Structure formats: structure tokens, C-alpha cells
A = this chain, B = another copy of it.
Amino acid sequence: MKKIITVITICFSFLGLQAQELKSPNGDLEMKFSLQENGTPAYQLFYKGEEVIKTSTLGLELKDDETSLISGFEISDSKTSNFDETWTPVWGETAEIRNHYNELAITLEQTSAERRMIIRFRMFNDGLGFRYEFPQQKNLVYFVIKEEHTQFAMTGDHTAYWLPGDYDSQEYDYTTSKLSEISSKFDEAWVGNASQTQFSKSAVQTSLMMKTEDGIYINLHEAALKEYSLMNLNLDENSLVFESWLTPDALGNKGYLQAPAISPWRTIMVSDGATDILASNITLNLNEPNKIEDTSWIKPMKYVGVWWEMITGKSTWNYTDEYPSVKLGETDFENAEPNGKHGATTEHVKEYIDFAAENGFDGVLVEGWNVGWEDWIGNSKDYVFDFVTPYPDFDVEGIQEYAEAKGVQMIMHHETSSAIRNYERHLDTAYQFMNKYGYPAVKSGYVGDIIPRGEHHYGQWAINHFLYAVKKAADYNIMVNAHEAVRPTGLRRTWPNLIGNESARGTEFQAFGGSKPNHVTILPFTRLIGGPMDYTPGIFEMDISKINPDNNSHVNSTLANQLALYVTMYSPLQMAADLPENYKRFPDAFQFIKDVALDWDESNYLEAEPGEYITVARKAKGTENWFVGNVNGTTPRTSKIKLDFLEDGKKYEATIYADAKDAHYKANPQAYKITKKTVTSKSTLKLTSAPGGGYAISIFEKE
């Protein structure tokens, strides 16, 4: 690990400078810090000489505290330093990650209250991060945040790719609009969800992707969100200033801190190249290094599962329809009348294990294996699951033996129904059960309103729980893929057993009415800035009525686009989500899913435009093989890509899975063509993507 640290300490006198500057290592970005008239801290950001963030104030409003931490400050100290280190993630888009920044830490003193706060800025070549720090001190010990007042003052009415602000759900389609249009389009964006809470018609979620009229890309997010409440962004439509709006608890308070404490990092990525945003490592670099000593049990997984058939409505999670409700430990499941549509049966699971084994998949996920699904949703049920009692038709041990014999691993499912106390009460026994029966990973879910009632998914309380579950899982050598949990903010650097989250609108919504065809060209600019997404792609049958005649939903994507997602939607956990029978209908296309890697030495974002297209090439870890993926929005488009990332002098065989000429995500989604050709580092490919289309390429070194 290369590490160059230079520390330059410059101390300023108490009565001294009111303005400070910080530049990125390459000088393109410059931050100017200042104190406003009343001693309110503020910052301003320039990119290549042009203002990209207007003077924006900082600070926090405290409950029952007249002074708060907003004004009346003086600069009492100022330290600059720089840092340049390359580190190795356990898994990731690249084998190594360079962490290179200049830092400015400003200590602010409130003379009246005799308190101090530090704001630490880190400037990278692709953006700025900053956080608040509350050192241990006499006059700031325990304090309650009423609201954080961090501003991001926009320089113009930018185009934004946004989700409506919500304390409980992220499962929306993106709206692309001007900032000034957000409030008028808010209601249209706000579609129903099992748990959702709006608070302002001009609020949006992070990460927020924007593009200025001048073609500058700006992304706002946070990094290392823990022991704190999640930040939404609320827009003042007159001034076009975003301000942080934290998520409240049941009492309306927005955070309980004990000094010494730190806030999460607020991040601002800036570039004139969209691909720079996608390639940025700011989020990870602002997180603490890996805390897990032995990571040998943490492995990317390609999996199939008993899931899509329930999502489409063909099968059920629940075993019986006989009772209006069930009580764990009391309801007789053994003698209940099976509804005949239960997905998670031993026999059916074995079919999936066979399919996985035949096709080189690592794992099989099974949902609906455990008692409680009869009334799991919409009832605010506390003791909803115990995570260890299977239905009568799910033979835990038999399946374990069968899977082991076939060299396939079982992936556990813990739907919590957001009953957090119940999940924590069962967590140790649930994880022990996984160890005993050989489940190395768990997909957890938090569908429905949080219990304790009054709390929100993104409040400090639930955020503490999500990390608690991940840390405890690490004690059991268990990997966690948490759905409906808080959107990631890079904690996976510190806890690499957090191998995935959904925490956005995933593939399941294609069976719930469909998502916008350009959805997947936005997600990497927004949701994936914080971490990988278990998007569960690979749908080959777009007409859901073919699976369940009562479901008229349509998957708004071509088949080639579905293949591309394995490359464009980065995740160490990748599902081939469709039913095996649909894969069997298109074995040639399925080959790509079998071939694609999960872990990478290099990732080159070749071209990208939010909402329009993303093309990325990735080198499979420890090999000379490459995979390329392109996803396209609603406009047909031809991309010309140079394969100059290949090694000079080598020959490769490229297999190109592309949209057929007349492909279209709605009218003709399954029209694809596969071509093979020999390529070298000098090759160029010209490929046309359909509306909602794309292409996937595997490039294998030729012997």
C-alpha cells in the first residue's frame, strides 16, 4: 500500500483570518471558507475557475439551546494537510483505490457559549467532502439536533434527476426536470408504497444528480452515515438553495449526540465529464478502513432464487390461506390446508439447486420458507417472524444436504416486516441457524412502517439497527444484503460483509407496473454512488402475463439491456432473477450471464449521460478477460467504443449480445443478436442500442 502523507500545520491567531481556501490536488476544484457577518460558517465551491456552489452556510440547530451551533463563531484554529494512499478493497470495481485529497480542518469557537466545533473539509480531484465534528469539551456533552442547516446553493436552475423526499422509501422512478419544477412534479412522482412519509413538496433524496446548463455534472450525497439521521435535501425554489433536512424520530427530534461525535460527510462531486461521477471513489475514501480481520468468508455470489414467481404473483410466499391471521408458536401449520401455490417447497427448491449447479451459479435464494407469511404485511405486526421455523413443505436439512452435494450454497431470507425489536430479539438465533445449516449470506427486508411505531426507516434509530445487524452478522461470518434499508453511504469499506442493498426501485417494480425505460441509466448516477445495488436483473420474459395471467405488467427493457445490467449495475451479488424456464428458452443469451464476472481489477466508464446511456468496460479480477455493458434510454443511439483498454499485442474473442435492429423495450424486447469477433486493443466497435436497450460484450483472451 502506497502511502504518502504530508502534514502542514498552519495555526492562525484567534483574532485572525476569516477566510480560508482549499484546493484539490490537481487544482481544478477550489473551496473558499468564510464566516458571515454574524459568525455563521459558509463555503463556496469553484470548478476550473467557475462558481459551482454559491456561498452556502453551515451549522446545526440544537434543541432547547438558544445559541445553537449556527452563528457567533470565530475561527480559533485551522490546519491543512494532505493525504495520498492506495488501498485494496475486499471486493469492488477496481483492485486498488487511490485516496488522494487535501484537507482543511477549521476549529470554530463560540465565545459566548464557550463551545467549539470543527468542520473538516477534504478536497479530491473529483469533489469535496466535509463534516462537522464535536470534540469532547465541557459545554457540549449531550445534545439533541433539532435540524442540520447545511446549504448547497445552486448557481442556476439545473437539470436534476431526483426522487421525492421521503422518510421511509426510496422505491420511486426518477423524475428528470429543472430544479424549479420539482414541487410541481412532486405529486406525480409520489406513487404508493408500503411505507412512505413525505414532508415537503420541494424535498428530494440523495444522492442527487444534476447537470448545469454549461455541462457541469454535480452530485450531492453523504458518506459514512452512522449514529446519525439521514439527510434529505429541501429546495428553496426562489433562491435555488438546497438545505439539509434530517429525518426525525417519533418525537420530531433529529439526532441525539454525545461528544466526542462526528456527523456523516456531506459530499459534492463535480466534473465536466459524467463518467468521472460514476468512477468517483469519494464515498468509499471518506469511510473508515476495513474492520474485519479475516475476510476469507466474504465472497461475491451469482445466484438464482425462488422469488420472481412470487413477485409476479404466480406463487405465494405464504403456505396457507386458511386463517385470517397467524400466531407464531400457536398456529397449527402442520395441519393447515396448503394453498397449493407455495413457492418455497423442497422439491421446487431442489429444481433451482439443480439449475444453479448446471449453470455454475454460486447460490440459491429462497423466500417464503419460514412461517409467518400469511399476514406479514400491512398489519403493523410485532412478533411477525422467528426466522428459524420452516413451513411443513420446506425441509431445511434435506435442502442443505442436497445443496452441499451439488456444490451450491443457500442464501437465507429474513423479511423483518420492519419489526426491528422482533428481529433483534431473534438475531442471534437466526444467525446461528444460518451457520448451522450452511447459509453464508442473508437477504434482509424492511417492508412496511418501522416498529417501534413513530420511527422512520431513515431515522437515527433504524440506521443504528441496520449497522448493528451487519456488525453482528460479521461475528457470525455472514454476508448481508439489506433491502428497504437505508441507502448505502460507503460503510461497506469498513464492513465489507455488507455486500449489497436494494434501497431503491429494483427489478421487482417491473412486475408491479414497470419502471421507466431509462431508470437504469440514472441509478448508477444516484443510488449507486453510495454503494452497489442488488438490482436482480436478467429478466428474459418481459410480458408478465405469460407468467401470471392476472398480471399485465411489462418489463420496460430489452433482453440485451438485461444482460448489460450485469456490467453497468455494479454489485458483487448478482441474481439471474427470471424463472429457469425462461433462461432455457434463450440459452445463447443466457451464456453471458453465466460468463460475466462479479469482481473486478479495473473499471473504465467509457461514456455516460444520466438518463441517456452508460457504457462501461470492466476487467475480471485475476484474469485478462473483460466485460462491456451499455444501457440506453428511450432514444435509439449508436455508440462507438474503442477497445484500447485491452492489452496491446493480445488477441481476444468478443461475443457481442446486442439489440436486434428492430428491438424495442415495449414492442419487441426479446429481439437480440449475438455476434462473435476477434478483437485487439486497436479495435473499435460501433453498436446501436434500441430504446430501453443496450448491449453486453464478453471479451476473452484468446489462447
Residues of A at under 8 Å CB distance from B? Answer: 136-138, 141-142, 144, 249-251, 253, 256, 258-259, 323-325, 327, 375, 379-382, 421, 424-425, 428, 452-455, 461, 464, 468
Are B379 and A258 in contact, CB atoms less than 8 angstroms apart? yes
Task: Write out the residue numbers on chain B whose beta carbons fall within 8 Å of the beta carbon of A375.
Answer: 141-142
CB nearest to A420 among chain B residues: B421
In the docked arrangement, what's the CA distance between A425 and B375, Å?
A: 27
Number of copies: 2
Distance (Å) between the CB of A129 and the closest chain B CB?
A: 24
CB nearest to A453 among chain B residues: B251
Are B325 and A142 in contact, CB atoms less than 8 angstroms apart? yes
Are A259 and B325 in contact, CB atoms less than 8 angstroms apart? yes
Task: Write out the residue numbers on chain B whose beta carbons fall within 8 Å of the beta carbon of A379.
Answer: 141-142, 258
Q: A251-B454, A379-B258 are in contact. Are A468 and B141 (CB under 8 A)?
A: no
From B138, B249, B425, contact of A453 by CB (8 A): B249
In the docked arrangement, what's the CA distance between A259 and B468, Å?
A: 33
Task: Write out the residue numbers on chain B whose beta carbons fall within 8 Å of the beta carbon of A421.
Answer: 421, 424
From B144, B323, B425, B464, contact of A424 by CB (8 A): B425
Task: Write out the residue numbers on chain B whose beta carbons fall within 8 Å of the beta carbon of A138.
Answer: 324
Q: Could you pull out 10 A-B pairs where Cβ atoms are within 8 angstroms?
A: A136-B325, A138-B324, A141-B324, A142-B379, A251-B454, A256-B380, A256-B382, A258-B327, A424-B425, A452-B452
CB nearest to A472 among chain B residues: B425
Task: Write out the residue numbers on chain B whose beta carbons fall within 8 Å of the beta carbon of A325.
Answer: 136, 141-142, 258-259
Known: A136-B324, A250-B250. 7 other contacts (CB 8 A): A142-B375, A144-B380, A249-B454, A250-B453, A258-B381, A424-B425, A452-B454
Task: Write out the residue numbers on chain B whose beta carbons fall within 8 Å of the beta carbon of A144.
Answer: 380
In the docked arrangement, what's the CA distance between A324 and B259, Å?
A: 9
CB nearest to A429 among chain B residues: B428
Distance (Å) between the CB of A62 and the closest chain B CB?
A: 14
CB nearest to A460 among chain B residues: B382
Task: Write out the residue numbers on chain B whose beta carbons fall within 8 Å of the beta carbon of A380.
Answer: 142, 144, 256
Are B452 and A250 in contact, CB atoms less than 8 angstroms apart? yes
Task: Write out the residue numbers on chain B whose beta carbons fall within 8 Å of the beta carbon of A425.
Answer: 424, 468
From B142, B253, B428, contact of A381 by CB (8 A): B142
Task: Write out the residue numbers on chain B whose beta carbons fall within 8 Å of the beta carbon of A141.
Answer: 324-325, 375, 379
- A137, A138, A380, A421: which has the most chain B beta carbons within 10 Å? A421
In the docked arrangement, what's the CA distance between A175 and B568, Å?
A: 72
Distance (Å) between the CB of A385 and the closest chain B CB?
A: 14
Task: Write out the residue numbers on chain B whose beta carbons fall within 8 Å of the beta carbon of A136.
Answer: 323-325
In the docked arrangement, what's the CA distance between A279 and B329, Å?
A: 37
Distance (Å) between the CB of A347 and the closest chain B CB?
A: 32
Distance (Å) between the CB of A18 and the closest chain B CB?
A: 30
In the docked arrangement, what's the CA distance between A425 and B475, Å?
A: 15
Q: A256-B382, A380-B142 are in contact. Are A250 and B454 (CB under 8 A)?
A: yes
Are B428 and A324 in contact, CB atoms less than 8 angstroms apart? no
Distance (Å) between the CB of A339 and the closest chain B CB?
A: 17
CB nearest to A259 among chain B residues: B325
In the docked arrangement, what's the CA distance between A339 and B424, Å?
A: 37
In the docked arrangement, what's the CA distance between A134 and B225, Å?
A: 44
Task: Write out the residue numbers on chain B whose beta carbons fall within 8 Å of the beta carbon of A251.
Answer: 250, 453-454
Distance (Å) between the CB of A23 and the closest chain B CB?
A: 35
